[in-house]
Amino acid sequence: MMKPVPKKYHKRLPKPEIRRNKTAGGNLFDKLHAYRDQHAQALFSSLGRLISSPFTSLMTIVVLAVAISLACGFYLMVINLQQIAGNLETGDQISLFLRDEISDAQANKFSDRIKLNPNVDQVKLISKKEALAEFKTYSGFGSAIDVLESNPLPIVIQVKPKNTLVDKQGFENLLESFKESPEVDIAQIDMQWLEKLESILAVAQLGGTLISVLIGIGVLFIIGNTIRLELHNRRDEVIIAKLVGATNAFIQRPFLYDGFWIGFISGVAAWFIVTGMLLILWQSVEKLSRLYGGSFHMLFLSFSETLTLLLISSLLGILGAWGVLIYQLRHTKPD
């Protein structure tokens, strides 16, 4: 019925000592090949399992993708607002509102005098007429202005100080000198509101970071829970593998790859969600930007930011799976 057992079977009995190396048989090259094959096998069989149960995986992935895209959305909002603030900052300037009784000619003379100041780079005179025209265009109160008999707007001189004048004290000194001029009614630095904007942005950035950390923790736990369920579903397999001598590292491997794929695919999906949303906003933002001189263009996720997004989401997947495995495998015992 059966062939006699070959004699070499006897000779090849394993040696009595504990084999500490994780692989056996063949030379080092073969072992490395076998190790690489094991990883490749685990990587693709894990992807295969995800695809074979698309509904369960899809639900998890959609939840994760939405959560991750929220964090990304916050990040993009902050960097876009910072860009606006950055553009405005290049125009740090002093606005001088002249007294009502100053005529255009006097204003011109005053403006010429300012130009001679060594700390001043550019001077722009906005006459009452120009100010009114600008106001009508942008404020939306054009018809209300028409009702007025006289032009209520003052002559404005915008002074852009030299870039060498970087410190605040120099700025203040220049401002004081303008305030003392008899032609000037009010002199103000346009930077003050910019500072306010910047501190608001700093708060937004911190808030965004906190929310992203929270979302990251959430993602970690969602993936952990998914892996826990998967581990539960495949408990028999885990126990049989343990009984035939699998190390925890071997058992963990396919589950870690599961975590990786869930994280990675969610990251890719989040990228599409965020990019899609930006595309929807893009037209309106460009239109708005044109109204303000077109200095602002919306920022999308750059190549390196996309890589970071995928790296973080994959890493969260692996970490979430790992945390659960460390705990669960210790409690999964053959019976």
Partner 1 sequence: MLKFDNVCMRYPEVGDVLRNISFHLKHGEIAFLTGHSGAGKSTLLKLIGIMERCSRGHIFLDGQDLAHAKEKHIPYLRRKVGFIFQDYKLLQDRTVFDNVALPLVIAGFGHVEVSRRVRASLDKVGLSGKEKKYPLALSGGEQQRVGIARAVVNKPPLIIADEPTGNLDPELSAEIMRLFEKFQQVGVTVLIASHDISLISQMNHRVLKLDHGQLVTS
Does 247 participate in binding partner 1 (rule CB under 8 A)? Answer: yes
Nearer to partner 1, 240 or 299 (CB): 240
Distance CA 243, CA 12 (A): 22
Specify whether the CB–CB gap between 242 and 331 falls below 8 A.
Answer: no
Does 245 participate in binding partner 1 (rule CB under 8 A)? Answer: yes
Among 242, 275, 295, 322, binds partner 1 (CB under 8 A): 242
Residue matched to tokens 């006699």: 4
Specify whether the CB–CB gap between 305 and 73 falls below 8 A.
Answer: no
Distance CA 315, CA 308 (A): 10
Work out how close the CB of 15 gets to partner 1 at its nearest, in angstroms, rounded to a whole number: 9
Amino acid 258 reads D
DSSP H stretches of helix in the chain: 8-11, 28-52, 54-89, 104-116, 128-139, 142-147, 168-180, 191-233, 235-243, 248-291, 303-331
Among 105, 244, 280, 291, binds partner 1 (CB under 8 A): 244
Does 43 participate in binding partner 1 (rule CB under 8 A)? Answer: no
Nearer to partner 1, 83 or 248 (CB): 248
Work out how close the CB of 234 gets to partner 1 at its nearest, in angstroms, rounded to a whole number: 9
Does 28 participate in binding partner 1 (rule CB under 8 A)? Answer: no
Does 332 participate in binding partner 1 (rule CB under 8 A)? Answer: no
Nearer to partner 1, 25 or 118 (CB): 25
Does 176 participate in binding partner 1 (rule CB under 8 A)? Answer: no
The region of 9-17, 140-148, 181-189, 308-316 touching partner 1 under the rule CB under 8 A is 9-17
Residue 109, CA distances (Å) to 113, 115, 118, 331 in order: 6, 10, 17, 88
Q: How far is CA 130 from the centre of its chain?
A: 42
Which residues in 73-92 contact partner 1 (CB under 8 A)? none
The contact set with partner 1 (CB under 8 A) reads 1-3, 5, 7, 9-10, 12-14, 16, 18-20, 22-26, 30-31, 33-35, 37-38, 236-237, 239-248, 250, 333-335
